[in-house]
Chains A and B, each alone.
Chain A
Amino acid sequence: MASGQQWVLVEMVQALYEAPAYHLVLEGILILWIIRLLFSKTYKLQERSDLTEKEKEDLIEEWQPEPLVPPMSKDHPSLNYDIVTGPPSHKIIVNGKECINFASFNFLGFLDNERVKQKALTSLRRYGVGTCGPRGFYGTFDVHLELEDRLAKFMKTEEAIIYSYGFATIASAIPAYSKRGDIVFVDEAACFSIQKGLQASRSFIKYFKHNDMEDLERLLKEQEIEDQRNPRKARVTRRFIIVEGLYINTADVCPLPDLVKLKYKYKVRIFLEESMSFGVLGEHGRGVTEHFGVNIDDIDLISANMENAVASIGGFCCGRSFVIDHQRLSGQGYCFSASLPPMLAAAAIEALNIMEEDPEIFTILREKCKHVHKALQESPGMKVVGEAYAPALHLQLERSSGSRDTDVRMLRSIVDYCLERQIALTLARYLDKEERFLPPPSIRVVVTIEQTEEEIEKATSCIKEAALAILK
């Protein structure tokens, strides 16, 4: 081999001697040309247009941007808010009319609770209102640490982390774990903050039909086949199932035991959003895990806000330290935002105290929910959507008129009719264009433990009357 190569080389040198001069010149030029091409600047598409300054100026003159926001019609249904005068508690003054509140998510009535208020006041007198900083920079108060500790104990998990805004909780938690290239299986009915979290994570998102475990398993199987084809990629692709405990958009509960089975079968982590079920479901209000008797350690992350049952502000995530601690440096809404005002944290602690002292309230709430659910069944032209024990039900039109606007207007007239008769209800609001799967229009009916038998009676009969008057 070696001698053969040497021979070729010798031959090449010889050929060089023997070649005619024009040949060498031509080759020399070609070599130079190649070198030039190699080192010359690559031209950009943009620069090739070679616009003169004058032409550029003209283009700039010519360009007309769209207005910053599109014009709005004055009677846009979501433009004019209902005005609540005074506290938004059980008795509420809406647009100047005193009503019974069937609209605020104040399930346990803590909003108006003297003990909670008193604790908040004491805290205000000690710490002031604002925290003037994020958690990292002198924005961690002893109250925050106490609340995190208490939440972890209440939920029987290793660790909890609090956020200063309910919406930002799950929306920050998801992108802290799920990154580009990871795969997330999400229920179609997932709430807006989950959708925003997913968008921020830039992961692959696979939607399965609402509460349809077969559909989810189909997707998981598909993924399994995909993984077998590309095992190297599969080894680094994290997978998550994201579901809500009690869906805010449909008021039904996720089949958690089945999800846990799927979790171990397909090795997927479960993130559970419990804003509606925390402080509602379960014997002690621990949410959907307690409701189904699922071991809480089987759920990788639970997130909930403290704006519904707890009636304060903010949200929290809890789970094993291995999972939760990561958010302290990676949860954007945690790191980069001012911490929760201590008085709001103190109020949440007191709410937890009451929940622990008196688990009876959860039973009362459940009874009331069932009562309302049953009483609403015979509303003419309307259907009740949601589980019997869900505290925030949806009343939808039995038959849609075909146009969402008309439906919304009809439901709004029902709400107005009830407002006139001192029952405060509200439409469930959505951003029609932004929702991934827009739920049908509905009236929210919220049950709280403060509502008496008579009030529930009055409300349900009022709704029926309204439906009869408006829908017939």
Chain B
Amino acid sequence: MTESSANKPGNGQVCHRVKNGVKPGRNGFIKNHHHYHHQQPMYCYPEDKVQHTACNGSSGLGLYSRPFIESFEETPMLVAVLTYMGYGILTIFGYLRDFLRDWKIERCHIAREREEQRDFVPLYQDFENFYTRNLYMRIRDSWNRPICSVPGAKVDLVERVSPDYNWTFDYTGKVVEGVINMGSYNYLGFAENTGYCADASAEVTMKYGVGVASTRQEMGNLDRHEEMEELVAKFLGVESAMAFGMGFATNSMNIPALAGKGCLILSDELNHASLVLGARLSGSTIRVFKHNNMQSLEKMLRDAIVHGQPRTHRPWKKILILVEGIYSMEGSIVRLPEVIALKKRYRAYLYLDEAHSIGALGPGGRGVVDYFGLDPRDVDVMMGTFTKSFGAAGGYIGGRKELMEYLRSHSHSAVYAASMSPPVVEQIIASMKCIMGEDGTTLGRDRVQQLAENTLYFRRRLTEMGFIIYGNNDSPVVPMMLYMPAKIGAFGREMLKRNIGVVVVGFPATPIIESRARFCISAAHTKDMLDTALSVISEVGDLLQVKYSRHKRLPSLD
């Protein structure tokens, strides 16, 4: 059996799975909702049985049509202590070096204010940049690595060296070729410069040019835009859809059109910055529930409806729940069936951001709704981006006709921002048709299938190697815990030395002790590439001693 919440007892108790070290706080689920039994398919890990007994549950919630396996192994105590010590040492050295810089003993590379403006109020508070100057600068070479090819399965990097410990970079003019790309969000491998999509896009470039130089409401509503929106609506299974030029702005410019003063926004604590900004700009009251924790969400919904607005106690005008499909730093998948059940019960509205899940999840690549086999009409606002799986740029919103008509006339983006570039639109149309099989091939479907297989394989192998991997078993975003600040830079560099490009992230993108590396699996990765990457990860993992996991999993036979 599985460690899925679907198998946990339906009475609201969180089972304390000390054995597998999963943080219970991250795995809340709805109480008292659905009791019908559901036979779960068998799953593979040998010690799952132990976990199952530890959970002592047998009744499935029946909301899930597939095992929902998500794990967040607890940080080992020693590692946590050492990590805090690491930050402590870095901070002490930071102060020391700031002191040396102040006394001009150490050369200071920081750009200075102009002489004429020295008596102005300082543009930055000194402590604002302490972190940047003393921690980030040490490992700055792990980010913003410039590339000079398609961001496909393999990528060419522009070689750069730093003569002054990462304060500036020089380009050597050489190219690091054939780096296996585990960093780009190229889930379905549509980042291509040849083939069906690129050809279509190239044709449109020559016919239309690249810009539009007007807004949708003025003179920038092209026939291609309309065609794309119809296709997006069809793909999502919603009545109507609208596309916008930037994924980030899709959230930040449309949420204010949906909620306002007197409305309540319930937002997952790990929501993307764009959702947070949109919620803030809307002027609504914002409350944050624990990540993917349905008990926390339900409690907030109940309290909100029972107690109404603070101070005035008037009932809320409406309640909007903001969740993401796949959380990009956590690799977790939203508990959508439970969210929908809650939303229906409490008459809230649901805004689902599928930035990472559209294309990457579900048998038809139609995102998290497809993955759980749900009805897209149960989600009020379906939002997503074209940047990732479609290899293009921009974002969309889909939903009921009334919603889209309202957005067409009230979206900030439609009125004030330039409409989407025609070649980008064409890339979206072509790749979406490909996923839907409308190009007459099974290429798209194969890629969706390939991605799912790659994901399962990669996650399983990493777990077997003894790394702590966060997130859902089916999520192509694979965070691997590094914890210590020094290992962030070391891991990034050691991997690049061995020709693998990875993304490493630390504070403030993650909680301070939970620095991690993140792999994004792509359908374009071949088994060979994954195996090469895995063996290198294992090697570097041994070198840096980041195989933290305390429960050993036996490698299964492939």
On whether the beta carbons of A344 and B120 are closer than 8 Å, the reply is: no
On whether the beta carbons of A305 and B246 are closer than 8 Å, the reply is: no
Complex interface bits, A116-154 against B, C-beta within 8 A gives 1, otherwise 0: 110011001111111111011111111011000000000
Q: Which residues of B contact A325 (CB under 8 A)?
A: 111
Given A56-B306, A117-B206, A235-B121: A429 and B116 interface contact (C-beta under 8 Å): no
On whether the beta carbons of A84 and B222 are closer than 8 Å, the reply is: yes
On whether the beta carbons of B280 and A326 are closer than 8 Å, the reply is: no
Q: Which residues of B contact A340 (CB under 8 A)?
A: 393
User: How many CB-defined contacts (below 8 Å) exist between A and B?
Assistant: 366
Given A83-B226, A238-B121: A129 and B211 interface contact (C-beta under 8 Å): no
Q: B157 — nearest CB in chain A belongs to which residue? A: A138
- Separation of A354 and B249 alpha carbons in the complex (Å): 31
Q: Which residues of B contact A308 (CB under 8 A)?
A: 213
Given A68-B349, A444-B218: A132 and B209 interface contact (C-beta under 8 Å): no
Q: B132 — nearest CB in chain A belongs to which residue? A: A329
- Separation of A69 and B263 alpha carbons in the complex (Å): 12
Given A101-B219, A142-B147: A72 and B273 interface contact (C-beta under 8 Å): no
Q: Given A126, A167, A332, which contacts B273 in the complex, CB threshold below 8 Å?
A: A332
Complex interface bits, B115-137 against A, C-beta within 8 A gives 1, otherwise 0: 01101111111000000100010
Q: Which residues of B in the span 192-215 have a Cβ within 8 Å of any Cβ on A?
A: 192-194, 197-198, 201-202, 205-215
Q: Which residues of A contact B220 (CB under 8 A)?
A: 84, 88, 104
On whether the beta carbons of B144 and A135 are closer than 8 Å, the reply is: yes
- Separation of A424 and B213 alpha carbons in the complex (Å): 14
Q: Which residues of B contact A406 (CB under 8 A)?
A: none
- Separation of A199 and B279 alpha carbons in the complex (Å): 12
- Separation of A333 and B478 alpha carbons in the complex (Å): 24
Given A110-B211, A124-B201: A68 and B246 interface contact (C-beta under 8 Å): no
Q: B346 — nearest CB in chain A belongs to which residue? A: A60
B317 within 8 A of A: yes
On whether the beta carbons of B277 and A332 are closer than 8 Å, the reply is: yes
Binds A, one of B3-11, B231-239, B383-391, B546-554: B383-391
- Tell me how far the C-beta of B133 lies from the nearest C-beta in chain A, rounded to whole angstroms: 11
Q: Which residues of B contact A125 (CB under 8 A)?
A: 193-194, 198, 202
Binds B, one of A9-17, A73-81, A250-258, A450-458: A73-81
Q: Which residues of B contact A82 (CB under 8 A)?
A: 219, 221
B540 within 8 A of A: no
Q: Which residues of B contact A112 (CB under 8 A)?
A: 209
On whether the beta carbons of A132 and B151 are closer than 8 Å, the reply is: yes
- Tell me how far the C-beta of B192 lies from the nearest C-beta in chain A, rounded to whole angstroms: 5
Q: Which residues of B contact A76 (CB under 8 A)?
A: 405, 409
On whether the beta carbons of B209 and A311 are closer than 8 Å, the reply is: yes
Q: Which residues of A contact B215 (CB under 8 A)?
A: 429
Some 25 contacts from A to B, beta carbons below 8 A apart, are A65-B349, A66-B318, A68-B380, A81-B408, A83-B221, A103-B218, A110-B211, A117-B206, A124-B205, A127-B149, A132-B387, A132-B388, A138-B184, A139-B151, A141-B148, A193-B416, A236-B121, A312-B211, A313-B420, A320-B111, A328-B144, A337-B274, A338-B246, A338-B387, A429-B415
Residues of A within 8 A of B (CB): 46, 49, 51, 56, 59-60, 63-72, 76, 78-79, 81-89, 92, 94, 101, 103-106, 110-113, 116-117, 120-121, 124-133, 135-142, 144-145, 164-168, 177, 191-193, 196, 199-200, 234-239, 264, 267-269, 297, 305, 307-308, 310-313, 320-323, 325-326, 328-329, 332-333, 335-338, 340-341, 343-344, 347, 424, 426-431, 434, 444
With A72-B409, A125-B198, A341-B393 already in contact, 11 other A-B pairs whose C-beta atoms are closer than 8 Å: A68-B380, A81-B408, A103-B219, A105-B214, A131-B387, A142-B146, A167-B412, A168-B248, A200-B280, A307-B418, A344-B421
